[in-house]
Amino acid sequence: MCKIIYMKSDLHIVKIGGNVINDEVALTSFLKDFASIKGLKILVHGGGKKASEMAEKIGLTPRMKNGRRITDAANLEVVIMVYAGLLNKNITAKLQEQNCNAIGLSGADANSIKAHKRIVKDIDYGFAGDVDKVNDTALKVFLENSLTPVFCAITHDKNGQLLNTNADTIASEIAASLASSYNVHLVYCFEKNGVLKDINDDDSVIEDINSKSYKELKQKNIIADGMLPKLENCFYALHKGVKKIIIGNPSVIVTKDQKYTSLTV
């Protein structure tokens, strides 16, 4: 009897954040490149800097701890408006301009991403959400019907509460949930060329990081601050079945000529 082998389809999951979101020219260029990716794809976007700017305009003070935002009730309203409204719909519209049939989503839409309010331990992060489950069935429906999901950094708890959730976490959770069904390529894009040995030297890219070298880099404090949660999310996805993750500047999604960081287990 012949054994039938089913080949998984490729799925590109790209997270965009950092200063690229605030730079209209850079964002437009990135979205044009993202739209050109053949086959199935999902985009996850941040927007923390834009949310901080908006909060300051209305007299609120953004607060961060260990690279993560502390979200009180007033700041939650701001991040919902900025992430799920202004940024998400602008990005979706720009992708439609590039003939990419995008659908803008929060975790509440189609019950895509359920989370819970982060339990208070040493720090109270307010209305921050930790992901419980990604509705992979809903995502497959979108993907298999030629739609490109565009996720902002908002989830929900299934009890009517929206939550601010780290976009890097959302990207890794989506990648992990779909790794058994697709050949997932996960890419984190921001304004730097990758994970750097020296934050002031854009050419000091650490080209390969695995679980062992990651621990060493943390111990030496080379990887610290906001890069820590990003890398934690990467290794979570790798241990859940994603084979390889790339971190680099936005052009890495269309060309591998420049330096970038490759992460493997």
CATH number at residue 67: 3.40.1160.10
Length of the chain: 265
Which position has the token pair 């489950």? Answer: 133
Are the beta carbons of 107 and 156 closer than 8 angstroms? Answer: yes
Q: What percent of the chain has pLDDT over 70?
A: 97
Are the beta carbons of 167 and 143 closer than 8 angstroms? Answer: no
CA dihedral 235, 236, 239, 241 (to 10 degrees): -110
255 or 171: which leads in pLDDT? 171
How far from 147 is each of 22, 41, 139, 144, 179, CA to CA, in Å? 25, 9, 9, 7, 19
Which of 88-101 are b and which e, b meaning 16 or more Cβ less than 10 Å from the residue's Cβ? Answer: bebbbebbeeeebe
Quick check: is 152 in a domain? yes
The predicted structure's pLDDT at residue 199: 87
CA dihedral 124, 225, 234, 11 (to 10 degrees): 90
Report pLDDT digits (tens) over 21-54. Answer: 989 999 999 999 999 999 999 999 999 889 999 9
Quick check: is 1 in a domain? no
The predicted structure's pLDDT at residue 67: 66
Quick check: is 165 in a domain? yes
The predicted structure's pLDDT at residue 226: 78
Quick check: is 120 in a domain? yes
Quick check: is 195 in a domain? yes
Q: Provide the domain count of the chain.
A: 1
SS3 of residue 184 by DSSP: strand
Q: What domain range is 58 assigned to?
A: 9-263
Quick check: is 50 in a domain? yes
How is residue 226 written in tokens? Answer: 């906001």
Indicate the pTM of the whole model.
0.94
Distance CA(213)–CA(210), nearest Å, equals 5
Are the beta carbons of 235 and 215 closer than 8 angstroms? Answer: no
Distance CA(48)–CA(153), nearest Å, equals 9
Report pLDDT digits (tens) over 107-160. Answer: 999 999 999 999 998 889 999 999 999 999 999 999 999 999 999 999 999 999
Report pLDDT digits (tens) over 159-168. Answer: 999 999 999 9
